[in-house]
Amino acid sequence: MNQKMVHQEIYINRELSWINFNERVLAIALDKSTPLLEKLKFCSIFSNNLDEFFMVRVASLKSQVEAGMRKKSIDGKTPEEQLINIRSKLLPIIQKQQKQIASGLIKNLKKEKIHLLNYEDLNDQQKSWTENYFKTTIFPVLTPLAVDRSHPFPFVSNLSLNLAALILDPETNQQEFARIKIPQKSLPRFLSIPTDLSKKHSDVIHTAIAIEQVVAYNLQVLFPGMKIQDYSFFRVTRDADLELRDFEADDLMSAIEEGLRKRRMGGEVVRLEVSEDMPTQILELLQEGMKVKENDLYRIEGLLGLDELIELYNLDIPKLKFDLHQGITHKSLKSSQIGLLEDGSIKQEEFKSIFSIIRKKDLLVHHPYDLFSTSVEEFINQSAADPQVMGIKMTLYRISKDSPIISSLIRAAENGKQVLALVELKARFDEDNNIQWAKRLEQCGVHVVYGVVGLKTHTKIALVVRKEKDSLRTYFHIGTGNYNSKTATLYTDIGLLSAQPELGQDLIELFNYLTGFSKQQHFRKLLVAPVTLRKGLEELIYREIENAKKGNHGHIRAKMNSLVDPRIINLLYEASSVGVKVELIIRGMCCLYPGKKGISENIRVISVIGRFLEHSRIFWFLNNSKSEVYIGSADWMRRNLDRRVEAVTPIEDLDLKKQLDELLNLYLNVNYGIWEMQNNGSFIRIESAKKANSIQEQLIKI
């Protein structure tokens, strides 16, 4: 196949592929087998995903249209055509979600004695309570903004929920327009009404009402002496992508902080969501005031801002959620956990340092099935305390709010160790959190750097240098996921804990590349983007192609978040055409068509969406029955291969290779709860003839 072939019949538009992925997320909320509160969570995730999609992807396409750009996407669509297709694809999916909320979830919540009420459903006692709550708690923080000749249309901030009202002055018969921003951060979205105010309070577990309804039914308090003619709700989404040019900014942190201030205000409006029954006069005023075209208008039947349904998910009702999963300590690390006696002293006779365990044998940890806290966090924790450890170096991309790893790094610096943290300030929507951590680490004596100019550092690596006898030994972790305690319980990720000298030396040189002026172009074993990863992956695929051409079996198995890169896709098509078996496990975007006659008959694609977010990346190549397998931080996307710093490591230990081989087989042979991609780009959910465990449930039980 011609590597330069670009044709819309062999590539799927990445934006439409992403929408397909998010529709699979919504399908979990619609699934009868999903516990009720988990349905709310997946509805929330779907909506939050959609917000980010508009703030970044749709915003980018709109900017291209406004700039007059006509460059076509890989599947042959102009930016304007993509926007039209996005809207056409999204409208029925959004309607499906709203219908599920209205006709399914709210009714099923009521059956479980959880009442999400409309204001008109409240009894007299409940109305009295909400009126009092409004006057004492909501009213003081509201600021109605009038719009007239002396008051221009107010700026409406990004993702804010608002009420628009038409007010009539009885004395002058003059109609006025006002906007009220609903308080979201200072107050809960869904107000809990005391259950003893219910007529059948003994049966009620929880009663709530959306805060905007309480505001709406108390508008008269905000406008005394005026007549409320009409009102409706709306929500705005703005361009929130930070445009940063590292080489133009003398101080990257200051540049990002300034960008964050602009983001909080927001750029151009990319979506206006309004209540479906919004009066025409109010809608016209909003569209004129914010310069919103019809194509950016989304009429919503029901609640706006469904990402905030996560508040209801947090209700403590275990029977309405997935069974609690806590993970276990990796069997090889059980003796490395510091045990305490009743008097608080350490069981020293049972304790083995994590270094002595890793020194004997490489370990693979698979989160959340293997506990993050007793593996990766314990590795950094013991490194901070061990007097023989000379230095610690880590990359930090997305960090939890109360990170034990940050505490360990600070403690290590206080203990006199050389500690380096590469904090990626450009991690989208985590910039502010990372800035705060970077400042705190610097204040505590940690060396903090922000990576390579022009590149985003996405790799997940930790290096520990330890003095042993008369020499130094390196210990390290290379993973597929962030050093984030929270997401480690929610995402599936794999990490290698090892003391292999050659990989350790590669990591030393990689950190020099990240922190200094090194122009490292070669590594012993690591595949590093943007230096060697693309070339390395392409050579691995080419080798399978050549083996197949010689009459040998060719086989590629890969698990990742997204497959978008056209060069890789072309190579996989070429591999398929010569008989290489290609099996792909892709959670999100996939711009390749599988099973297409004459192009990809030998390619199969499945997607797994479940209670945990599939995040691990595994790349396996048959290599004439001498299989090679890699794990790392990179998806097969242009940004990962060309515009980010990524590290992918070979797994050479035979036992660990066998573990990954068995894991891939498990994913590819499961017959329940997976999605199979069809040759037209659509996905069909594969169900067993009888109830069976999903892949994630199987892994929990292993």
Where among 476, 491, 521 does a domain terminate? 521
pLDDT in tens, 637-663: 999 999 999 999 999 999 999 999 999
458 is catalytic: yes
Higher pLDDT residue, 198 or 17?
A: 17
User: Residue 401: its pLDDT value, please?
Assistant: 77
**Confidence at residue 335, expressed as pLDDT on a 0 to 100 scale:** 80
- Residue 244 confidence (pLDDT): 46
Q: Which residue segment(s) compose the domain that 208 sits in?
A: 14-320
pLDDT tier at 344, thresholds 50, 70, 90:
very low
CB atoms closer than 10 angstroms to residue 544 = 26
CA 338 vs CA 328, 410, 414, 446, 568: distances in Å: 15, 20, 21, 26, 46
Highest mean pLDDT out of 14-18, 62-66, 339-343, 683-687: 14-18
Could you tell me if 501 and 627 lie in one domain?
no
Instruction: Give tens-digit pLDDT for 471-511.
Output: 999 999 999 999 999 999 999 999 999 999 999 999 999 99
Asked if 600 and 593 touch (Cβ cutoff 8 Å), the reply is: yes
**Residue 336: C-alpha distances to residues 232, 305, 332, 410, 574 (Å):** 60, 46, 8, 22, 48
- Given 464, 498, 521, which residue is the final one in a domain? 521
**Residue 246 in this model has a pLDDT that exceeds 80:** no
**Higher pLDDT pick, 170 / 401:** 170
**Pairing outcome for strands 460-468 and 389-396:** antiparallel
| 473 is a domain residue | yes
| pLDDT over 90 at 34, yes or no | yes
- Taking 80 as the threshold, does the pLDDT of residue 45 lie above it? yes
Considering only CA atoms, which of 475, 489, 434, 493 is closest in space to residue 633? 493
At 435 the pLDDT is 77
Report, as an integer, the average pLDDT of 189-199. Answer: 88
Instruction: Please provide the average confidence, as pLDDT, over all residues in the chain.
Output: 90
Instruction: Provide the pLDDT confidence category of residue 338 given band limits of 50, 70 and 90.
Output: low
Do 513 and 541 have their domain in common?
A: no
Quote the CA–CA distance of 325 and 488 in Å, as a whole number: 12
Task: Report the pLDDT value the prediction gives residue 684, as an integer from 0 to 100.
Answer: 94
User: Residue 259: what pLDDT?
Assistant: 57
Residue 329 within a domain: no
User: Cβ distance 630 to 648 under 8 Å?
Assistant: yes
- Position 689 scores a pLDDT of 55
pLDDT at 251: 59
Report how far residue 263's alpha carbon sits from residue 241's, in angstroms, rounded to the nearest whole number: 7
In a domain, 259, yes or no: yes
Q: Do 485 and 534 share a domain, yes or no?
A: no
More confident residue, 8 or 192: 192
Q: How confident is the model at residue 389 (pLDDT cuts 50, 70, 90)?
A: very high
393 and 264 together in one domain: no
Regarding predicted confidence, which is higher, 344 or 512? Answer: 512
pLDDT, greater one: 470 or 685: 685
Q: Report the number of distinct structural domains present in the chain.
A: 3
Give the model's confidence band at 424: pLDDT under 50 very low, under 70 low, under 90 confident, else very high. confident
- In a 3-state reduction of DSSP, which class is residue 237? strand
Residues 493 and 601 in one domain: no
- Please tell me whether residues 551 and 671 are part of one structural domain: yes
* 62 Cβ contact partners less than 8 Å away, ≥ 6 residues apart: 79, 83, 239, 268, 270
Regarding whether 431 and 371 lie in a shared domain, the answer is: yes
Catalytic pick from 115, 458, 477, 615?
A: 458
**Tokens (6 digits) for 94:** 């959004």
pLDDT at 229 over 60: yes
CA distance 211 to 190: 6
Is it the case that residue 238 has pLDDT exceeding 60? yes
pLDDT digits 0-9 by tens, 572-626: 999 999 999 999 999 999 999 999 998 999 999 999 999 999 999 999 999 999 9
What pLDDT sits at residue 103? Answer: 72
- The CATH number assigned to the domain holding 461 equals 3.30.870.10
Instruction: Give the pLDDT band (50/70/90) at residue 430.
Output: low
Do 206 and 301 lie in one domain? The reply is yes
In a domain, 346, yes or no: no
Q: Is 303 within a domain?
A: yes
Is 24 in the same domain as 152? yes
55 pLDDT above the threshold of 90: yes
Pairing assessment for the beta strands 206-210 and 114-117 based on DSSP bridges: parallel
Last residue of a domain, one of 320, 336, 371: 320
Q: Give the pLDDT score at 7.
A: 57
Tell me what the mean pLDDT of segment 41-57 comes to: 95
Q: Confidence class of residue 257 from pLDDT cuts 50, 70 and 90?
A: low
**340 belongs to a structural domain:** no
- On whether both 448 and 576 belong to a single domain, the answer is no
pLDDT digits (tens, 9 = 90+) for 523-555: 999 999 999 999 999 999 999 999 999 999 999
Lowest model confidence (mean pLDDT) among 117-126, 140-149, 178-187:
140-149
Q: Are residues 169 and 225 located together in one domain of the fold?
A: yes
Give 311's contacts (C-beta < 8 A, 6+ positions apart).
Answer: 188, 189, 190
Among 179, 311, 177, 309, which residue's Cα sits nearest to residue 236?
179
Whether residue 228 is contained in a domain is answered as yes
**For residue 702, what pLDDT is reported?**
82
CA atoms in the 13 A half-sphere facing the CB of 437: 30
Residues of the chain with pLDDT > 70: what percent? Answer: 90
Does the pLDDT value for residue 345 go beyond 50? no
Asked if residue 331 is part of any domain, the answer here is: no
Taking Cα atoms as reference points, which of 312, 322, 324 lies closest to residue 205?
A: 312
* 178-202 mean pLDDT: 86
pTM assigned to the model: 0.91
* Predicted confidence (pLDDT) per residue in 281-325, tens digit: 999 999 999 999 999 999 999 999 999 999 999 999 999 999 999
The CATH number for 230's domain is 3.30.1840.10
pLDDT value at 569 more than 90: yes
Residue 106 predicted with pLDDT over 80: yes
The predicted structure's pLDDT at residue 450: 81
Q: Are residues 187 and 83 in the same domain?
A: yes
